[in-house]
Each structure stands twice: as C-alpha cells, then as structure tokens.
Amino acid sequence: MAKLELRGVQKRFRGADVLRGLDLSVDNGDMVCLIGASGSGKSTLLRCINLLDPIDDGEIRLDGQDISAPELDPQPVRQRIGLVFQSFNLFPHMTAEENVMLAPRRIKRQGREALRPEIAALFARFGLDDRMGHYPDQLSGGQQQRVAIIRALAMRPEIMLFDEITSALDPELVGEVLDVLRQLKSEGMTMVMATHEMSFAREVADKVCFLSDGHILEQGPPAQLFERPEHARTAAFLRAVL
Amino acid sequence: MRLMTLSAALTLAAGPALAAKDCAAGKTITDGTLTIATGNPAYYPWVMDDAPESGEGFEAAVAYAMAERMGFEAENVTWTRTSFDESIQPGAKNFDVNLQQFSITEDREKVVDFSSPYYSAAMAVLVRQPVVENGAEPTLESLKALKWGAVATTTAVPMLTGLVDPEDDPLLYNDNPDVIEAMKSNQIDAAIFDLPTALYLSAVVLEDGVVLGQFPADRTENPDRFGMLMEEGNPLRDCVNAALDEMAQDGTLAQIEAKWLSETTGVPVIE
Amino acid sequence: MTATHGAPGPTRRERYEARARRRGSAIALGSTVAVLLALVVLIPLAPGWEAVKKSFFNAEIFARTFPGLLQAFLLDVAIFAWCAPIIAIWALVIALARDVRSPALYPLRLFAVIYTDIFRGIPVILIVYLIGFGIPGLGLQRPWNSPYIWGSLALILTYSAYVAEIYRSGIESVHASQRAAALSLGLSRADMMRFVVLPQAIRRVVPANMNMLIALQKDVALLSFIGPVEVLRQAGVYKSLLANFTPYVVAAIIFLCVTIPATRYADYLIAKQNRARS
C-alpha cells in the first residue's frame, strides 16, 4: 500500500479550477518531485495534502486513512505531515530553538528541559547547533530554511512536503539546503517536493511528476521523464528550463 | 421721535430720583438700556421659572427695583446670560451688571468690581432623611464624619475645607443638579448651599431632602455676601451702589427678601 | 591631485552634505528666531494684553496654586495607573471575541461588535456621566457606589473599544503565512493566536497604543465631572475663588510635562519600527 494516495483531487480557488481530478501515489521512503510551470498547482497540491486548504472533491489517503473527509479534525493529521515553505515562515519573535520547540511543547505537552536534548540533537544533525539561540533575522536565508526544516522534523512527521524551498535563496545558499534533503532521503524519509531544481530532481527523486492544467500530465523515474518525455508539453517545458 | 418724547416725559415724571438717573447716563454698554446678566439657567428662588423678565424671584425683583432707581423703566432693562467663567474672563463685558449669587471676596475683587452687597447669605447643610436617621446632627463634630459635596465654583468650597474640615476629601461638581444626583446615588451624605437654595432643593428637587442646619452669615470670618459683578473700573458702580444703598436704608431690600426668601427662619443653627 | 581611494578625510559627497546641513541649520535657526520675536513683540501690543496677562499668566497666582494643583494631579496619575492595565487586558478580550469562529460563540462576537460600535460612538464625557451617576443610582452601597470606581469603569469601557480595534489591526497585519506555518505544524487555532500571532501583533501596535495612553492621561480629567477633585477640578476651584484663569494654565503645563515626553517616546517607537520594517 502506498504511504500517500491522492484520487481525483479537485480544488477551486475564486472560481478557477486549480486542481482538476489529480491522482498521485507516493510509496514509503520515496522522494517524489513535482515540476511544472508557475501556477500549475504544485503549491496548492502541497497545501491541500497538509489540509491547510480543504479540497473540494476526491480523496487523500495517508496509510489508507481518508484524511480529506470534510468533517475530520485537521489538527492531528497535520502533526503527521511536515510542510516547509518557500519563504521559510519562521516566527520572527522567537529564537531558532523556540521556533522548533513550540509545536512539541504545546502538542506533546513536554517541558523545555525534557525536549532540549532531542532538539539539540536535531540542530547538530544539520550543522546548526551554534545557531540555536539566534533570531531568524540574525540567520542567513539558507540557515533560516534549515531551521524551518528542523522545525517540521521536530514533530516526527511520517512524511515531509517541500514547497519550492530553495526558490527564495541566493544561489550560493541552495546547496546547503539541498544537502539536508539528501540526508533525509538517505535516512528513509518519505518526501514530496515542488521544485525548479531539475538537476537535483534528476539526481535524487524516485519519481518525477509533471503538473499541467491541474493534473499530472506525465510521471515516471527521472531518467525516463527527463530523457524521453512522452508528451510534447513536457518536452517543451523541459527544453525551456534545462 | 414720539417714543423719545414719551420717555423724556416719563423721566421728568419720575422726579425724586433725578440725580441717580443722571448718574447712569452714558455709562451703560447700550445707551438708555441697562443690560443685566444672570445664570444659565437661573435658579429658584433667585429667579422664578428661569424668566428674569417677569421680575419674579429675589434677584429679578432686586434688579428691577434697582434699575428703576437708576432711571431705567422695566422695558429698558434687557437680560443676558453668562457662565461664571464668562463673567470673569478678561476683555469687554456684554453686561452692565451681573447678579447670580456671586459672593464678594477679596481675591475676586482684584479682577472684577462688586457692588455693595444686596444679600447676606447664610450657608446651609443639605442632607437626605436617611442621613438624619443615621444620627447626623447640626454640630461641627457630627458634620466632620459625613461625606461632603459642593458646587466647585462656589465659596462653599473654602467654607467646607476651612470650617467643617471633614475627615474624607469632599467631592466637587459642576452645578446643583449634579450635586443632587450624587446625593441620590448616596455618593455623598451632605452638601453646602446658600440657605435659600438649600431650602428650595430640599422642598422641591430632592425628595427626602432635609436642611440639617445653617451657618449664620456672621459665623464665619468672611461672611458670604452677594454682590453684583461688574467689569473692573466700571463707572456705573457708584450709581449701582447709590441705588442699592438707598434700597437697603429705606427697607426695600428687606421687603423683597421677605417676599421671596421668607422661609429661611426656623432652620437650626449649627453649633 | 584628487583624493585616492581609502584616503583619510571626508569624501566630496560628505563635504557637500556637511555644507548643506550647515546652511539648513542656519535657515531654521533664523526663521525660528524671527517667529519668536514676532510673537514676543506683537502679542503684547494687543490692546487687551495687560488684562489677559493678569488673568492667565499671573505669576503670584501661579506660585500660590502650583503645589495644590500638583497634589491634585497625583490623583490623575493614580486613576491612569489603575485604568491602563485593565484597558490593555479587556481590549484584548474584546479584540479576540470579534475573531471567534465557532457558531456557538456567535453571541460573543456579536457582543464585541456592538460593544465597540457603541463605546466608540459616544463622547467619553457622556459615558462618564451615565455610568458615574447612573449605576450608583441603582442603589449600590458604599464603597461600591464610589465615583472613582464607576468613573474609571467609564474610561476603561470607552478606551477598551478603541484599543481593541488597534489590537485587531495588529492581528490582521500579521501575514497569513505566519498562521499557515503555525497550523501546518499541527498547532491549534488558540495556540496559533497565543504564541504566533498575538506576540507579533501586540509589538506592532505599541506606538499606536502609546498614543491612546496619552489621550487617556488627558481624559482622566473628565472624572472631575462626577466628583473627584483631580487637577482640572482643583484648577476650577482656584479659578472660582481667585477669579483668575492662571490655575488652568498651571494645570495645562503640568499635563504637558507628562504628555510631551510620552508623545516624543511614542514617535521614537514609531520611527524605530519604520526603520526596522524598511
């Protein structure tokens, strides 16, 4: 059974169809990359999976459980799904450590002292143990985005979603963030990532999906999709970005 | 033209007071007219029904009697209204004389002129029946324990702090209705007014009001005497004083007082 | 020879700006002195100046009334001191009540909307009168009918309505992405509000609230209408006894001694915030 399964997902925004019956399946431990033009629905899809935006029709299953039922309380589901944003969205009034600690403290009802060893270990794992006491505006973009990833990981999610997390970064800072993803991949994390980093997708992804007009026009292993796209539009997009 | 002839004839007919009439000539803000100011509103029993033109009420009656002696017929008296602040602000006044129970004080006299006093006011203590039932008596000792109020712009305030010297700081208000409201709300036990006002309030306005006692005018070092207020240096003052002094001597003032302020006897004197 | 890169001494631009600054200062000083001179020379030429000076700027009365007025001002400060923290809390409750979503709590939201409309729509002095005399008139016993309590309540109710709207503007100014980030972690809406939105919102509206505090300090004087002898009332008593307006000038100066530094501080906070944002 797939870890994450989307069937016929539809989403309208102010009268416009953003997702039109989209199907997607993500296996345990896989890294799935979503590519496509701006406005093709990649961000919306990720927000829908995290239940930040409710879908209009279709269903989303996590470990076989329908998490998209309208009557379902989204809060426990979101705790199982990490989401990292393009613009980091760190809480500016909290230090890096406080940013990471907030959700575990409130949701798992654990004290700061009890949480500290685990949080410190997470920072150390991604080379930020000397930045725990810094406020977001004292960190570089790359450091901020790594803190945002650590913040999502602190809830021990079963799956991580990344929404163009390197697009807002200066080019020289992209590498340190992508290294984090490589590390997570090697640790067996299930991940879905909207990205424009084609070479990274080609290197790391288990599956690449090309979004167009609100559904997945074409998907497959990177070698196949990048070398031998079946659809003319996929080919045209790839020619434009590569 | 006919009107002038008529008024000239009337003036001649008024013979005896000719000197006083000449006195006021050319000294009023409008020639031939005496402009008198009162409060807004003017209160009973000083002015009845807030209508000074009727001549009803102590101050209205005094005003018309004085005007007559100064050579102004009733129709040559016009009324205007001022607040306390307007009456003392610097600059030209819009009245010749202003009477609304102004107490004559040394400090005030530095800024404005006062006429001879036309009334010596006893100050009185107004309370409600429950306060009396709780044991309040017309003695200074008993009064000290009460919660006090007064109208802020009156000489009741120095009287309160100087003579009664209550244990709690008094509360002060803008006007009589506010003081009464505070008494009804039981925020204060007692308030000081001049005696005629206190009698009126207890009889008409405050349902269970009682005048607990009075401080006679000669009780204090500075007895509360009402005078008419005029702009400093007003040349009319001598004419006003001549008329008022005459009214005091021939018993006119006493008569008017007896008519409008007669109930003031029988209020216990505070010991 | 032109200055080489990194050489000591001001750059050409710096020299130009220093010159412009000096010229600007000279013009500002000159025009200020001219205006002051005109005021000092012209006003005393007015025919009523002597009378006005005697009535409003009387040194002897200033000296006589200043200690009493300063004493009375302490009451203003005390009323301000107990009103301000209650306003801060009650306004927050109102602001949050306007944002509740649960249908069961709709009456709360409705209440908050009506509350802010009513109390922002009525002059403070009327509220002071209505509550200060009206509620004790219901038959409350001492000390619960004190004008201090109900007058303060009138200020608290009115100012909370304004401050609640300021809080709301602050809450709305926190970007939606902050809410999304909090929710995506699995935080509840209440936790999102408490830990993520409010701390940022309240910080942003500190300058606006400083201005409300200054206004409150002045409006405390309105309590004098229902009895308390604070500085405005004490000035009125002196004015009445001395037939002179100088006590009002003294009261105004006492207020300015507090409000001008507070206003400057508020401006400083606003400027600091604008710098931080740009």
pLDDT, one tens digit per residue, over A155-169 is: 999 999 999 999 989
Measured between beta carbons, which residues in chain C are less than 8 angstroms from residue A52? 180, 183-184
Task: Tell me the C-alpha distance between A162 and A180, whole Å.
Answer: 12
Same domain, residue pair B189 and B104:
no
pLDDT at C251 over 90: yes
pLDDT at B6 over 60: no
pLDDT at C23 over 90: yes
Q: Predicted confidence band at B244 (pLDDT cuts at 50, 70, 90)?
A: very high
Separation in Å, CA of C267 to nearest CA in chain A: 22
Closest Cβ–Cβ partner in C55, C141, C229 for B89: C55
- In chain B, the number of structural domains is 2
Architecture of domain C60-277: Orthogonal Bundle (1.10)
In sequence order, which residues have a C-beta less than 8 Å from that of residue B149 and are 6 or more positions away? B170, B171, B172, B173, B179, B182, B183, B187, B188, B190, B191, C227
- Please indicate, yes or no, if residue B258 is contained in any of the structural domains: yes
pLDDT at B90 over 80: no
Same domain, residue pair B142 and B208:
yes
Q: Predicted confidence band at C79 (pLDDT cuts at 50, 70, 90)?
A: very high
Place of tokens 């500085």: C231
Task: Tell me the C-alpha distance between C8 and A116, whole Å.
Answer: 51
Same domain, residue pair B25 and B141:
no
Mean pLDDT of the residues in chain C = 89
Same domain, residue pair B48 and B88:
yes
Q: Predicted confidence band at B263 (pLDDT cuts at 50, 70, 90)?
A: low
Q: What is the CATH number of the domain that holds A169?
A: 3.40.50.300
Same domain, residue pair B132 and B168:
yes
Q: List pLDDT tens digits, range A145-199.
A: 999 999 999 999 999 999 999 998 999 999 999 999 999 999 999 999 999 999 9
Q: List pLDDT tens digits, range C123-166.
A: 999 999 999 888 888 878 888 888 999 999 999 999 999 999 99
DSSP B45: T
Closest Cβ–Cβ partner in C183, C195, C200 for A52: C183
Closest CA to A197 of A226, A229, A218: A226
What is the pLDDT at residue B264? 61
What is the pLDDT at residue B121? 81
Closest Cβ–Cβ partner in B89, B111, B187 for C227: B187
In sequence order, which residues have a C-beta less than 8 Å from that of residue B202 and are 6 or more positions away? B126, B209, B210, B211
Instruction: Supply the pTM of this predicted model.
Output: 0.81
pLDDT at A92 over 90: yes
Size (chain C), residues: 278
Closest CA to A90 of C177, C171, C172: C177
Closest CA to C136 of B8, A186, B178: B178
The predicted model gives C227-244 an average pLDDT of: 90
- In chain A, the number of structural domains is 1
Same domain, residue pair B82 and B158:
no
Task: Tell me the C-alpha distance between A84 and C228, whole Å.
Answer: 59
**Are the beta carbons of B34 and B72 closer than 8 angstroms?**
yes
Number of neighbours of residue A219 by Cβ within 10 angstroms = 20
Q: Predicted confidence band at A204 (pLDDT cuts at 50, 70, 90)?
A: very high
Q: State residue C145 phi and psi, 5-degree precision.
A: -100, 15
**Are the beta carbons of B56 and B42 closer than 8 angstroms?**
no
- Please indicate, yes or no, if residue B101 is contained in any of the structural domains: yes
Q: Which two tokens stand for residue B169?
A: 């700081």
The predicted model gives A104-110 an average pLDDT of: 90
Q: List pLDDT tens digits, range B165-200.
A: 899 989 999 989 999 999 988 899 999 998 888 988
> What is the three-class DSSP state of B44?
coil
**Are the beta carbons of A158 and A80 closer than 8 angstroms?**
yes
Same domain, residue pair B50 and B106:
yes
Amino acid type, B22: D
Higher pLDDT, C8 or A136: A136
Same domain, residue pair B29 and B101:
yes
Mean pLDDT of the residues in chain A = 92
A222: β partners: none
pLDDT at B111 over 90: no
Same domain, residue pair B146 and B115:
no
Put simply, whether C247 touches B (Cβ < 8 Å) is: no
Question: What are the extents of the domains in chain C?
Answer: 12-40, 60-277
Alpha carbon distances (Å) from C18 to C14, C29, C31, C200, C202: 6, 17, 20, 39, 40
Q: What is the CATH number of the domain that holds B248?
A: 3.40.190.10
Closest CA to A94 of A34, A138, A41, A142: A138
* Chain-chain contact of B182 with C147 (C-beta, under 8 angstroms): yes
Same domain, residue pair B105 and B153:
no
**Are the beta carbons of A48 and A7 closer than 8 angstroms?**
no
Q: Predicted confidence band at B18 (pLDDT cuts at 50, 70, 90)?
A: very low
DSSP B211: E
Select from C75, C241, C244 the residue whose CB has the most chain B CBs within 10 Å, as the one to mutate to test that interface. Answer: C241
The predicted model gives A14-42 an average pLDDT of: 91
**Are the beta carbons of A8 and A58 closer than 8 angstroms?**
yes
Got the DSSP string for B239-271?
A: HHHHHHHHHHHTTHHHHHHHHHSGGGTTPPBP-
Put simply, whether A54 touches C (Cβ < 8 Å) is: no
Which range of residues forms the domain containing residue B169? Answer: 123-215
Positive or negative: CA dihedral B126, B130, B136, B138: positive
Mean pLDDT of the residues in chain B = 84
- For residue B12, the Cα-to-chain-centroid distance in whole angstroms is 33
